[in-house]
Structure 1
Amino acid sequence: MAVKHLEVERKYDAEPEFTVPDLAGLPGVTGVSAPETHHLVATYFDTDDLRLAAHGITLRRRRGGSDAGWHLKIPAGPDSKNELRAPLGRAQVVPARLASLVAAYTRGKQLSPVATLETSRTVFHLLGENGGALAEIADDAVTGRVVAGDAADQSWREIEVELAAGDAVLLKAAGKRLIKAGARKAESSSKLGRVLNGAIQRPAPAEYSGTAGDAVLGYLREQVAAVLKWDPKARLAEDDAVHQMRVATRRIRSALQSYRAILDREHTAPLREELKWLADALGEVRDLEVLRMRFTDRLEEIGESAPQSWLTEIGRQEAAAYRRLNVTLKQPRYFALLDSLEALVTDPPLTDRAGRKASKELPGLVMRMWKKLARAYDEIVSSDDPEVARHEMRKAGKRARYAADLAKPVLGKPAMETSKRAKKVQEVLGGYQDGIIAMEHLRGAHARTTDTSEAFTLGVLYGVEQCEARATIATLAETWRNTPEPSF
């Protein structure tokens, strides 16, 4: 099994004659450990077109040092990466678990050695009051070479400051002292990036010329990036990952519908269907996750601490749903969807209206979705099935909100206010819908249980959900009445 570790570090370049300064006295530092020297040999794996490197991801097999093995590093924010580790295993075979975590990027392409790095490392630790390590300082003399081609070897010296129990204040202070001594901020955030720099094909920064097409594509690029970002986290069942990946998927699908005047609907209709397929697969996990968390909180509210077999069953169903999701995320159909999403933002099927000024074109498109929300509210009163009508209004509210979110960078405060108003309505309907789903599940569990104590608990929970759902939906009319129509 892969072991996860959050790596927070900064790198600095240094000349061969550079002397690491005394780092004692930095914030919280009471001592410095004796130095240790290691010889590290790392082989880096990637696709032949360096897809991982293009996204700032590194996958290596390293021998030597205290953490020999396979290391997968995925960007997690400024100066930080999520690092997952696996034992050394076989030299040319990437551990299946690590390979699966980058499948959204490789999409079936083979992972092979692309570069090797040999490092002579001198390492010491900055210690706190209790003697524990606050940070690790690694002084590296590195030689890197590309596996294919005839590029010359590269050699350089690099100082890494990686936090252990220390904080950002220490990280910054250590960097200042190194720079004062003659080091400089590293040219590359990774050793591999330095070796492969000329061969990595990174996407060119998008240019914004103020058109409606630019506004829509900018939003879509963010959401496609979010899908890729949350993919490995969803595979690992990290907290909120499936939810965030599902939201990004839904936002893309909603934008294709709300802004079909900008993107040709004939080209995007098949993509919307595939996005629905992915959202449904993510939804199976998310719905069970929400029920498990909801009922866990409810049991705490009513003071019930006895184990509940029906709640345990939800956990088992959730685990099974995660397994099915991981199978789905390995399918060629999923990889084809990712290819289509990237093609959408690199070669978009723009309409003539896409070239119009965004500040003139977007208000009408946002208002169009708001008016659909208003009609959905009116239909609740006249509908033969108010439950279905409320569900449709909830979906309309979400589309209106997402349409406004897309327009925020262009329209500013009016779009922000529209999004807030739509969200308020959506939350009322969403809270009611969640209660209805919870009641349905409780009824089913009650019908299956033979434990009288659990049956009583299920009945209590059903009553709580029913009262809350009724109270929530009773506020809809007032909420809508106090939600003015947007103006742009």
Structure 2
Amino acid sequence: MSHPHEPVGEWWRGQVAALHRWGRLVLRDEDDAVHQMRVTVRRLRSVLSTYRPLLDAEQTEPLRAELKWLGALLGDVRDAEVLRRRLRRWAAEHGPGPTGVDALRAALAERQIQGRARLLPELDGDRYRALIAALASGLRWSEADPGKKALRKRLRRDWRRMAAAADAAANTDDAEERRRQFHEARKKAKRIHYAAESSREVFGKDAERLAKAAKSIQSTLGDLNDAAVMIQTIGQVPGPDDAVRDLLEVEQTAADTAEARFASVWKKANRPKVHGWLSQPTAKSK
């Protein structure tokens, strides 16, 4: 019988292979490759964060730093991609005529170009190759077998931190603080989503339900975040005209809609059926 941590290690190796594959596709400018590579980086970082006390710090702490570096490079490109896509959606409804939005469109295109100019040489460089080699060496655990109880405890900690941020957002009347807490909840939902995915072979359907619930939270708050980032970006456009103001109104509505939708998403996710097993060390997956 394999030790409980071994399926996590196998999942890790699959993600490292995916990262290497997506890196090659980014260099070829394949559609959606930057997004998929960024998600893979997040998956790897999430596992290193969730299981941090159970891992060999001498190996994993440098990996955390290097994955953060790579994620930032990918994020510069991907964020511009997302904003440009939202602009194209707006333009499809409002026509291609010249407006104040043109300056925003040009700025985002330039941001994406500059981001790729920083990213591509790194993906073909020694630092990235060294990172892939280090990741491919596999996870090193600080104990020979941390066991299910230890893995479950780390997942429980992540869930409770996300729940605390979600509850804090729901219980504040201050709009700015609410958005800040939603942002924290989104980051923590991503971590529990990917960490639960990594433990699916250990905890079975319990982990699947947890990952699905966290993903629903992540998706809803991701919609909110995308709209909020666009609102912030629109605010940097000098001399806004009617088109810019219309775009701003569209994005504000999108943000409000996502925020309002969160209550029902959180109610469905925050059920004992989803997370109760995390507090029951002897619970068995069904």
Q: Same-fold call, TM > 0.5?
A: yes
2:122 matched to 1:332?
Answer: no
Partner of 1:474: 260
Q: 1:462 aligns with which of 248, 259, 274?
A: 248
1:318, CA displacement in angstroms? 1.3
Contact 2:46 2:192 in 1 (8 A): no
Q: 2:206 aligns with which of 414, 430, 446?
A: 414
Aligned ranges 1:234-383 → 2 under 5 Å:
234-300=26-92, 302-306=93-97, 309-310=102-103, 311-343=105-137, 345=138, 348-352=139-143, 354-358=144-148, 360-380=149-169, 381=171
1:377, CA displacement in angstroms? 1.9
Structure 2: which amino acid aligns with 1:399?
R
Q: Structure 2: how far apart are the matches of 1:214 and 1:367?
A: 20
Q: Structure 1: how far apart are the matches of 2:2 and 2:213?
A: 26
Q: Structure 2: how far apart are the matches of 1:468 and 1:245?
A: 27
Q: Structure 2: how far apart are the matches of 1:274 and 1:334?
A: 9
1:305, CA displacement in angstroms? 2.5
1:314, CA displacement in angstroms? 1.9
Instruction: State TM-score, norm by structure 2.
Output: 0.86
**CA offsets, 1:355-409, max 9 Å, x none?**
1544x54333322221121122233336983332221111111111111111112
Q: Secondary structure at the match of 1:351?
A: coil
Q: Structure 2: how far apart are the matches of 1:236 and 1:442?
A: 31
Aligned ranges 1:56-67 → 2 under 5 Å:
none
Q: Structure 2: how far apart are the matches of 1:472 and 1:248?
A: 25
Aligned ranges 1:429-444 → 2 under 5 Å:
429-444=221-236
Contact 2:4 2:202 in 1 (8 A): no
Which is bigger in relative contact order (C-alpha 8 A, separation at least 6)? 2
Q: Secondary structure at the match of 1:305?
A: coil
Partner of 1:26: none
**CA offsets, 1:288-324, max 9 Å, x none?**
0111111101221x33232553313422331222122
1:434, CA displacement in angstroms? 0.6
**CA offsets, 1:100-127, max 9 Å, x none?**
xxxxxxxxxxxxxxxxxxxxxxxxxxxx
**CA offsets, 1:50-74, max 9 Å, x none?**
xxxxxxxxxxxxxxxxxxxxxxxxx
1:328, CA displacement in angstroms? 2.1
Structure number with the higher helix fraction is 2
Q: Structure 2: how far apart are the matches of 1:237 and 1:366?
A: 36
Contact 2:227 2:251 in 1 (8 A): yes
Structure 2: which amino acid aligns with 1:318?
Q
- Considering only aligned residues, what root-mean-square deviation do their CA atoms show, in Å? 2.1
**CA offsets, 1:332-355, max 9 Å, x none?**
322222222123x1xx43122x51
Instruction: State TM-score, norm by structure 1.
Output: 0.52
Contact 1:212 1:361 in 2 (8 A): no
1:411, CA displacement in angstroms? 1.8
| Structure 2, gaps ≥5 residues long | 278-286
Q: Secondary structure at the match of 1:239?
A: coil
Contact 2:5 2:145 in 1 (8 A): yes
Aligned ranges 1:143-158 → 2 under 5 Å:
none
Partner of 1:232: 24
Q: Structure 2: how far apart are the matches of 1:456 and 1:328?
A: 41
Partner of 2:284: none
**CA offsets, 1:48-97, max 9 Å, x none?**
xxxxxxxxxxxxxxxxxxxxxxxxxxxxxxxxxxxxxxxxxxxxxxxxxx
| Structure 1, gaps ≥5 residues long | 1-208, 450-454
Structure number with the higher strand fraction is 1
Q: Runs of 4+ in structure 1 displaced over 4 angstroms?
A: none
Partner of 1:107: none
Q: Structure 2: how far apart are the matches of 1:408 and 1:430?
A: 24
Contact 1:249 1:275 in 2 (8 A): yes
Structure 2: which amino acid aligns with 1:321?
G
Partner of 1:105: none
Contact 1:291 1:438 in 2 (8 A): yes
Q: Structure 2: how far apart are the matches of 1:448 and 1:270?
A: 46
Q: Structure 2: how far apart are the matches of 1:332 and 1:263?
A: 26
Aligned ranges 1:86-105 → 2 under 5 Å:
none
Structure 2: which amino acid aligns with 1:407?
S
